[in-house]
Structure formats: C-alpha cells, structure tokens
Amino acid sequence: MTVLAKPSLIEVEASVERLVYVREDEYTVARMSAETRPAFVASGRALAGVQPGETLRLAGEWEEHPRHGGRLVVRRCERVVPSTVPAIALYLGSGLIRGIGPRLAQAIVEHFGERTLTVIDTEPERLTEVVNIGVARQAQIVEAWAEQKAVAALMVVLQGFGVSPLLAAKIYQVYGEEAREVLASDPYRLIGRVRGIAFHTADRIALRSGVPETSPQRMKAAVADRLDAAAARDGHCYLPLPVLVAAAVALVEQDEELIHRAVDALAAERRVVVEASPAGHGQVVVYSKEHHSREVALAANLTRLLRARSTMPHRPYTEDEGLHEDQRVAVNLALTSTVSILTGGPGCGKSHTLKVIAATVRAMGGRVTLTAPTGKAAKRLSELTGLPAMTVHRMLAQQADRDDGALFQQSPADADLVVVDEASMLDLQLATRLTSVIPEGGHLLLVGDSDQLPSIGPGSVLADLLRAEQIPRIRLTRVFRQAQDSGIVQAAHHIRAGEVPTLPGRGGFWFEELDDAEQVAERVVHLATEAIPRKQNIGPDQVQVLCPMRKGPTGTGELGRRLQERLNPAREGVAEHWSGPSVFRVGDRVMPIRNNYDKGVFNGETATVTAVNPQDRLIEIRTDDGETVQYTFGELDELTHAYAISVHRSQGSEYPFVVAPIVADAGGVMLRRRLLYTLVTRAKAWVVLVGRRDALEAAVHRLGTRRNTGLAARLTVSLNG
C-alpha cells in the first residue's frame, strides 16, 4: 500500500500585484511578486480583503490546477509592513494611501529609500522635501496614512472575532476613531449602520466579547433584526407578534419569555409599535416605529387629498381622441377625482390615455407634472407623452429647495395634476413624501400595472390603494389590435391569467430549454454578447440580462461577472479597483442602489464608469442623463454593476432585448408569477428565456405571499370616519 506524502507547507513573503478574482464567499485569487521567487498566483479564503500593494506573509501548499496551472493555496495570511524599496513603492503607489499615485510613490521612495514608511509615520513633515508635495498634499497623505493604520488595526481585531477583514474599512468609514469602542461596548449598533453586517456578525463579536447569551441587549437586537429583515427581504411593514417572537427565538435559541420582554422594552423605548392589526382578525402586530409612522402619515395624506375640494379648471371631457369607452371613463376620472388610479396590462392603452389626460388639462389652462420613480421610467414617460417628465425624487428635491426660501418659485408639486407613472414601484417612504407635498385641491393620478412586482422597499402601496374601495380607479382591459400580434403582450397576458405561454413562442417571445444551470449561464452570456447582437445588427448594450435570483451560477453576481469579463475585461496597465467581489473598470455599466440626495443620483438609474483614480481613491460615473458624479472607494457599496440585474431593479425600465435564465430556486422563493410577468414586460422587441420548462410552468402557477401592510385598512377607517 502506497502512502501519499502530505504536501509540505510553503512560507513566503510577497506583495499583491493585482487581484484576479474575488468570489462572493470571499475566495480570492491574486497575482503576487516576491524577492525570493518568480511571480506566482495565490488563492484561498484566507486572502479575503487583501488589496494590491499590500505585503503578506503567506503559508500554504503548492497545487497544480488542471486549467490555471500552478498556484499557492493559502492557509494562513498575515499582513506585514513592506521592507524592501520595490515593495514600499508598490504599496504607496497602489492607491491604498489617498494622495499618492505611482509616480509620486516612486519619487518618495527614491528620496527616503527603505526609511520611507518610518518617515511617513514618525516625521511626516519631511514629506515636503519631495518635489510636488506641498503642505496641503502632505496633510492629505498624513490623514490617509492614519486612516490606513486604523483600518489595519481593525482588521486584526475582527479576525480575532472570526469576522471578515473586508468589513474593517466599512466600519471605520461609519464610526471613524470610535470604531474600536463600538466593537467593544455595543457591537449590535453595527446592524443596519454598516452594510454587510447583520445580526449573526454582530452577535459573534458580542458573544466573543463576553456579552451573555441571555442579555436584554441581545434579545432586543434580535427582535429589531427580524423586523428589519422582514421589511428588507419580504417588504413587510409589520409582523404578527407570534411570528416575530418565533423568528427571534430561532435566531438566539432562547426562551420565548425573554423575547416578549424585549418587545415590551422596545415598545417602551418607542422603537417599535405594538397594536391590534389594522385589518382586524384579532391579531396583535409589531411595527418598527419608522414604518408605523409612515403608514399612518400616508393614510392621513391621502384622506386629506381625497376630502379636499378640487381646484382643477374643469370641463367634462367630450372630444373623441379615438379612445375606447373605458379610456374615456379614465380621462373623466382623472379630471374629477382628486386621487385616482389608472391600471391595466400591456397593450391596453394606458400610455395613450395618459397622453390625452395631460393634453386635456393643459388645454383647460391647468398645469401638469409628470413623474415616475426612476430616471428611465421618467424618460420613457416623456417620450410617450411628448411632455417633460422628472423622477419623483427630483420633484421632491425641488419642493425642498422652495421650502428653503425661494418664495416665488412654483414647485412642480403645485400643479393641477401630478401624475406618477409606474406607481407599482412606490414604496411606503416615497409615497408618504410624495403625498405630503401635494396641496389640497390638486389632483394625483397613479398609473401602473398592479400585476407587476411591488416596490423594492417595504409596503405595497398601489395594491393597497386598489384594495381600499373608496379610491376611484379604472382598469383598462381591452388589448388593442396593434398589440395583439406581439408575442410579448400575448405571453404577458397568459402569465397574468395563470396560463403557460405557447412554447417555444413567437413574435418577440422565445423559450429555449436547457437543464443544467452552468449550461444555462453560458447560453445566456452567449446570447447577450454575441448571438443576438450579431443577428439583430446591434450593440451588446441593447441587450439586458435580467435574473430572478442574486446568487448561484445564474444569479446577478455570477452572470454579471461573466458578462463583464466578456464585454469589459481587465487590460494591462489600465487602472481598476476591487471592492469586495466586484471590480470597477472604465466602461463598466453600473447602477446606484441607494438614493443619494447629495450626489443627485437615485436608486435604479444607470450610468457608465468614466474614470478610476487610485491616487485620490475615486471612481467617476456619468449617468444616462449626462450628470458626472464621483464616488470614493469607501462608497462603492452604493453602486452595483448593471450587466445582469435583478427583475426588481429593472422595474420602470424597458429594453429592446431581454435575456433571462429560468431555473428552479430552493422553495420557489423568487420565481413566481408576478416576477415572471414583470420580467417579460420589460422587453420591447424580444424576450428570450433560457432554462427549465418545469421551472417556467411552476413560476406561472405560483402566487406570491401578500405583504403585511395596514394601509388599506387605515384608509377605509379614515375615509369612513
């Protein structure tokens, strides 16, 4: 019997030249350079969080990879201070220290040699001895050096808690010099403040710091986390008390009584609201204070608008614009009701009806403001009506500017009619802010397809308003002749009715059957980057990949990475920056995933990366509206790549060609009728679905769960009072 020798452990000190690949589970591949051996590749989760320029002391085994050749599989990784002149130059010029680029790094190292880092650390005033370093640049370097040291120290602390060092920079960005104090005194404060830190991570730090498993602090954090998770993941505004208690018990594995006490304590602190369900049923429910306040305020705002006397300059609509009967009803409803809803599926004439409504109000001497939740939806609305349109966010920003003292400036919200298209995207927060700025007597018209997915944020505003019978509404149901020949429209109406579309399809809708998820992923990439652009004689930018899921081989992360490598691969000598598992390069298509009012960008807009500046640690993007915006490397959690995006993030947008993987997900959590319907209706010319027929059929028949909201019940009570 032959006994195979165990691979011997190799120890080496080397500098990170560049990152090759970072997976979502933090598995990292990096190209390394060392004094004692030729350049080599290192890989493993132990490399999580390393950055180009850092010097590492590695321990691991050499392995021959069948496809990629030899590499060091790292078992242990320790950051060390670079000591050789080349390593110091690489470290300073990598972008780790803001204010120093490759040329300046070389000049500093040529002047101070091996003492460079000692000089920066202990005699920073001497930096002005180097050409091109003045007092301002010297101060910037000193500040960045101190920050880098603090982040490095945090990494050591986090590793002691078994927490990824990737989070160190995020924690420091939020808490600065107080970061270590927060970790020591109340790690649960990190939840919700630092992106990437949920209860499990904060809990691990707390327990290893000596916080008792039964501490009230821990119980309250668990309750708050389950409420936040229900809002973020499922869009719920509240949870029934028994459901919340069970979820928190499962999280901390403690007695129910401790959780009940935590709920009572949070209620006493006014962080949650415990009340009888607005919908009745004898249930006791728990809201976060924020969601409860907004829901109550939204119901009050809508009641105020509905009860107000209209100030619309009015005459009954009598002109025939080629409208169907229900379209004429819709026009009169918008002219006579201070709040109304226009809904219907694709091809039913919502856009033309809206155009007639806007033209009629303007012809009567009234003012119309057209809005939509996203920039793309607003642009499409403008193209359809021939009138200017803006995002709801920009309308609210202009209202805020006027409130700050522009006495004679008329706000867009002061129009006789405010229209919100794609109203299914309105979440609780945005709807509350919107309705608060519309004056009494003005008209609000919500236009949307109630069969699409609800908003990304919590709430189900359009569906709730349709459940409140006192809200005037009209649903357009007649599919017009020009839309009847569209395979997309036909497929959408089949899906809406719970019927499987004709497969493989025709005239704009196509289904290609493949079983294996890896094959599906490769086929989607080929269709999006080669087959469709070649056949249709278009650029790949006219094809959008949409994904029902985020994780797995057909999720947004992995498919986006494959598409990026195909369309915008790394180029030698061209700057790029890794942020977690994402690498940003000039030419990348990106999308903000948070509203940033200071920058003037909003969730769902699309943009292109125009510059990556390691020296100043900045990335510059240009939005599709032509605005140039800068993000620091520490703010890149606010951006996601747009090569493959979730169906939720595609709402409000239309694309000439859509390609999407359709594979079964665990428990059918994501692949449901509303998601499939929304996906199909994002395409203008063709939608191509690739995957399993049984997954498609299951999605058609699978209804999603209703979000826990109390808006419809609050409105009913308020309007009947």
347 is known to lie in a ligand binding site: yes
Burial of 569 (0-12, 13-18, 19+ CB in 10 A): exposed
C-alpha distances in angstroms, 593 versus 52, 400, 453, 462, 639? 26, 22, 17, 22, 6
Give the amino acid at 142: V
Q: Is 489 helix (H, G, I), strand (E, B) or coil?
A: helix
Q: Scan for tokens 């999720």, then name that residue.
A: 555
Whether residue 458 contacts residue 427, with contact meaning beta carbons closer than 8 Å, is answered with: yes
349 is known to lie in a ligand binding site: yes
350 is known to lie in a ligand binding site: yes
Whether residue 312 contacts residue 437, with contact meaning beta carbons closer than 8 Å, is answered with: no
Whether residue 389 contacts residue 372, with contact meaning beta carbons closer than 8 Å, is answered with: yes
Give the amino acid at 127: L
Angle at 185 between CA 173 and CA 48, to 5 degrees: 45
Closest CA to 121 of 100, 95, 160, 148: 148
Report which secondary-structure segment, H or E, holds 252.
helix 241-252
Whether residue 475 contacts residue 344, with contact meaning beta carbons closer than 8 Å, is answered with: yes
Task: Please tell me the distance from the alpha carbon of residue 596 to that of residue 603, in angstroms, as a whole number.
Answer: 8
Task: Please tell me the distance from the alpha carbon of residue 196 to that of residue 15, in angstroms, as a whole number.
Answer: 27
Beta strands 655-662 and 368-372: pairing type?
unpaired
- Dihedral over Cα of 686, 687, 692, 698: its sign: negative
Q: Is 610 helix (H, G, I), strand (E, B) or coil?
A: strand
Summarize the annotated binding site for ATP as residue ranges: 347-351
Summarize the annotated binding site as residue ranges: 347-351
